[in-house]
Structure 1
Amino acid sequence: MTAADINNDSKRCFGCGAALQSGDTAKPGFVPASALKAETAICKRCFRIRHYNEISTVTVDQNAFVQLLSSIADTDSLVVAIADIFDFEGSLISGLHRFIGRNPVLLVANKMDLLPKGLNWNRILNWVQQQAKAQGLKVEGVALCSAKRNVGFERVVERIDQLRKGRDVYVVGATNVGKSTLINRLIRDYSDMDAELTTSPIPGTTLDAVRIPLEDGKAVIDTPGIVYPHRLTEVVPKRVLSKLMPDKPVKPLVYQLQEKQTLFFGALARFDFVQGEPQSFTCYVSNSIKVHRTKLEKADALYAEHKGGLLSPPDSEEWNELPPLARHRLFIPKGKKADVYVSGLGWIAVNGESGAELSLHLPEGVKYAVRDRLI
C-alpha cells in the first residue's frame, strides 16, 4: 500500500488498517460478511485483542511498510515521528529523510510517564534535541508527552497545528512507541469519529495504514510500526513483554559496586563492572525485572544453574527461546557522565567520573551504546 492508495481504499479495519475480507478466518482483516457494510468496522483480530487481550501472531510485511514510508516523499505532508523516550535510540527510524524527502518532521518523544517523577522536562527536551541531531535527524520541532496519561498532549497538538499548514499528517515510528495511543487522543479530542485504533503491548498491532479524516478534508494517517530486531522487545518470548515493558514510572535502583562485581537483569542481560574505582550505578529498567548482584567470578556458573529460576524473566520454559548471550566490552573514560543503554531494556547510569571498564552480555543482535546521561 502506498500513500496514494490510502485515499482510495475505504474497506479497511479501522483498528489495524488490514484490508477487510470475509473469505478466510485465518488471514488478517477477517470480518463476517454482514460487517463489511459498517463505516468503521474492525476485524476479528482487533476485536479479540481489545476484549480478550489475545496475543496475535500476525506480523507486519516490512517490505510493504518501507514501500509505504518511501511513498510519503511524493506527498506534501507533515511527518510526525514518534519515539519511545525509554528506548529512544532503538525506536528512531534510521535514515528517515531518505524515505520522506523534504517533508518537515515533528519529533515527539512519548511515554514520558515512565521516567521518574520530578524531572526537569526542559533538560529532557534539550537531551532529545541533541540526540536527534547526533542520529542525523533534522527536525522542525520537538515535543514531549505521555499520550497514555494525557500529559503534554496539548503541546503536541499545538506543534502539529503550527507545522501542518493544511497538509496531511503521517505518523511514523517503530513498533510499540505509542503511535496509535497518541492518535486515539486526537480522535477523542479533535474528531467526531466514534472509533479507536487498536492498541496492544504486542509489537505489530497496526498492520497497514489507517486514515483518520480531519474537518478540513485532510487526514492523519497512522502507519504500521517498523520492526527493529535490534530491540530486546523483539527477541524475547511474547509472554515476557508485560514484564519487560514498564507501564508505570520506573523506580531507579542504585548499586554501589566494587570492581569484579556483576548485575543480572533476570536472565535477559548481564552487566559486569570489570575494573575501576568503587562507584555507584543507577539502573533504569521495568519495575518487574529482578536485578541480582553477584561476584564476577561466580557469574557464569550462576547463569548456567539459575537461568529461568532465580534469574527470571524469562522463566524456565521460556529462557531457551532467547538467542545466546554475546559479550561486549565497554570503556568509560574519566570525566564522562554516561549511560550504558540497552535497546528495549533501559539503561544503567555510571555515576562516577573516574572511568570504568565494563562488559555487557546481551542476546545476540540487541543494540547497545554508551551515551550522554539522560537523567
Structure 2
Amino acid sequence: MKEQQHSQASSCSGCGVQLQSGKPELPGFLPEAAMGRDPVICQRCFRIRNYNEASSVAVDQDDFLRLLGSIGSTDSLVVHIVDLYDFEGSLISGLQRFVGNNPVLLVVNKIDLLPKAMNVNRLRNWVQKQAKAEGLRTVDVVLCSAKRNMGFEHVIDALEQYRNGRDVYVVGATNVGKSTLINRLIRDYSDMERELTTSRYPGTTLDAVHIPLEDGKAIIDTPGIVYATRMTEIVPRSFLGSLLPDKPIKPLVYQLNAGQTLFIGSLVRFDFVEGDRQSFTFYISNALNMHRTKLERADELYADHRGQLLGGPSLEELESIPAWTRHSLRVKRGVNKDVFISGLGWIQVNGTSGALIDVYAPKGVKVMLRDSMI
C-alpha cells in the first residue's frame, strides 16, 4: 500500500510542483520518509502552512509563459483573477494572445479592501472600461472576495453559465488570491478533498494543479505570473504584512499646498509641486507610516531618517530595494485621476484646478495616472 502511495504522489497537492527528495534547495523537496503520506505536500508548502515561512525557490518565467501559451490549443473557459487593490499591476494585459478564442471570465478579487460605501455597479463599469483599454475581451466581470466569502455565489453562477462542460483554466499574477479562490471552488464545486497552499508570499503555486470535476473535466490552477513592476515583488518578505492590507482600507485625506511632500514609509515620496491648495486621498495599507514635510526639506529628511522616523522598511532592508526613480505626472484641470503605484495602492487627486505631481518610487515599479476608481 505504501509503495502505491509513493508512485501516485508525483506532485505536491498544495502547489502542484513535481516532488523530489534529492535536492532541498530546489522546488518540490520532500524527505524520502514523508513520501508515503496522504495527502502529500512538499516541505515548502508545509512550512508556509504551519509556520508562515516561505523558502526562496524560483520557477523559470519561460515555463509560466509556455503553460499559458498551451491554453490556446484547448477548448476551455479561462478564469482570469485580478487583485482590485492592484488592478493594473495584476492584470495580464497580453492574455488574449495566449488563450486564443477561449472565453475569458474576469474575476476581480479583494473587493473587501475597499470602503463599504463603494458603489458596486460603478466599480464594475470601471473594471470593464480598464480591461477593455488593456486589450482584454471578457464574457463577463464578477466582483468578489474569496477571503471574506463576498460575492462568491456569483463566481459559481458564472462558471455554470460559461463553462459548457469544458475544463477551466485559472490564471493570474502572484498574490492575487488565486489559491484562496480555488480552495473555495474545491469546496463548492468539486468532490475532491484537498486544499491548495495559500499565503501572503508571491508565487505560492509552482506548477499546474489539476482538480477533477464530477463530469470528468478539471479546474487547472496555473502558477502565478511574477511581475517585477509590483512593489510586492521587491520589498523584503518580512515587510509584506505591512504593505498588503487584510481589512478594509481607511482612506487618508491630506489638504496640501504646492511645495509640500508626503513620505509613505521609506518606500515612496509624493511631491505636490504645482497647483492650487487641494485634497489628496491615499488608499494604502493603514499599517504604513505617513510623514508630511516641506518640499525643500524632503531630500535632507529622507537622507537622515529613512528606515527610522519615516517608517519601514528598515535601513538594512532598504539596501536590497532599487533606488528611486522620479515620475512627473500632470493632472489636467477638471479631470478626476488616480496616481497608481503598483503593489502599494493609489492616491486620488480630488482638486478641480489641476496639479503637477512628482512621485519617487523604486526603479521598475509601475507608476501611472488612471481614471479614478472611486
- After TM superposition, list the pairs within 5 Å mapping 1:226-375 onto structure 2: 226-375=225-374
CA distance in structure 2 between the partners assigned to 1:210 and 1:96 by the alignment: 20
Contact 2:251 2:282 (C-alpha < 8 Å) held by counterparts: yes
Deviation for aligned residue 1:188: 1.6
Give the equivalent residue in structure 2 for 1:76.
Answer: 75
Distance 1:218 1:35, change over 3 A: farther
What per-residue deviation string (whole Å, max 9, x for no partner) do you get for residues 93-114 of structure 1?
1210111111100001100111
The Cα shift of 1:59 comes to 1.7
Q: Is the 8 A contact 1:124 1:374 kept in 2?
A: yes
After superposition, residues 41-80 of structure 1 pair within 5 angstroms as 41-80=40-79
Shift of 1:27: 2.3
Cα deviation, residue 328, structure 1: 1.1
CA distance in 2, matches of 1:93, 1:38: 37
Q: Distance in 2 between matches of 1:29 and 1:263?
A: 44
User: Hey, what does 2:171 align to over in structure 1?
Assistant: 172
Moved more, 231-240 or 268-277: 231-240
2:309 aligned partner, one-letter code: L
Match of 1:162 in 2: 161
Q: Secondary structure at the match of 1:196?
A: coil
Task: State the alpha-carbon separation in 1 of the partners of residues 272 and 25 from structure 2.
Answer: 49
1:87 alignment partner in structure 2 = 86
Instruction: For residue 219 of structure 1, report the CA deviation from its aligned partner.
Output: 0.5
Post-superposition CA distance 1:20-62 (Å, at most 9, x none): 1223333221223354455531111101110011122012221
Give the distance between the partners of 2:333 and 2:175, measured in 1 at CA: 36
CA distance in 2, matches of 1:315, 1:24: 33
Written as runs of structure 1 = structure 2, the 5 A alignment for 1:11-30 is 11-30=10-29
Q: Deviations over 1:81-134 (max 9, x none)?
A: 010000000100121011111110000110011111121111111110000011
Contact conserved, 1:12 with 1:18, CA < 8 A, in 2? yes
What are the within-5 Å matches in structure 2 for residues 163-242 of structure 1? 163-242=162-241
SS for the counterpart of 2:147 is coil
How far the C-alpha of 1:313 sits from its partner, in A, is 1.4
Structure 1 runs of 4+ aligned residues shifted over 6 Å read none
Which whole-Å deviations, capped at 9, do the CAs of 1:164-186 have from their partners, x for residues lacking one? 00000000010000110000001
Whether the 8 Å contact between 1:208 and 1:223 is mirrored in structure 2 is yes
TM-score normalised to structure 1 length: 0.96
1:151 paired with 2:150, answer yes
In 1, Cα distance between the equivalents of 2:108 and 2:292? 32
1:354 deviates by 0.7
The answer on whether the counterparts of 1:333 and 1:354 sit within 8 Å (CA) in structure 2 is yes
Corresponding residue for 1:6?
none
Give the distance between the partners of 2:316 and 2:22, measured in 1 at CA. Answer: 37
* Separation of aligned partners in 2, 1:145 and 1:94: 21
Q: Is the 8 A contact 1:251 1:284 kept in 2?
A: yes
Residue 66 of structure 2 aligns to a residue in which SS? helix
Give the superposition deviation at 1:198. Answer: 0.3
- C-alpha separation between the residues in 2 aligned to 1:277 and 1:234? 36
Find the aligned partners of 1:55 and 1:207 in 2 and give their Cα distance: 12
Partner SS for 1:313: coil
**Matched letter for residue 50 of structure 2:** H
Q: CA deviation at 1:190?
A: 2.4
What is the DSSP-based 3-state SS (H/G/I as helix, E as strand, rest coil) of the residue aligned with 1:284? strand
Contact 1:341–1:371 under 8 Å retained in 2: yes
Paired with 1:252 and 1:321, the residues of 2 have a C-alpha distance of 29
Report the counterpart of residue 3 of structure 1 in structure 2: none
TM-score by length of 2: 0.96
* Whole-angstrom distance in 1 between the partners of 2:304 and 2:35: 54
- Which residue in the other structure is 1:5 paired with? none
Secondary structure of residue in 2 paired with 1:217: coil
> Unmatched 5+ residue regions in structure 1?
1-8
Q: Secondary structure at the match of 1:142?
A: strand
Deviation at 1:319, TM superposition (A): 1.4
SS in 2 for 1:369: strand
Per-residue deviation at 1:193?
A: 2.2
Q: Is 1:98–2:97 an aligned residue pair? A: yes
2-structure distance, mates of 1:33, 1:260:
63
Name the SS of the counterpart of 2:316 in structure 1. coil
Q: Alpha-carbon deviation of 1:245?
A: 0.8
The answer on whether the counterparts of 2:25 and 2:57 sit within 8 Å (CA) in structure 1 is no
Identity %: 63
Task: Work out the CA distance in 1 between the residues paired with 2:138 and 2:208.
Answer: 23
State the shift of 1:321 in Å.
1.5
SS of the equivalent of 1:358 reads strand
Partner of 2:240, secondary structure, is helix
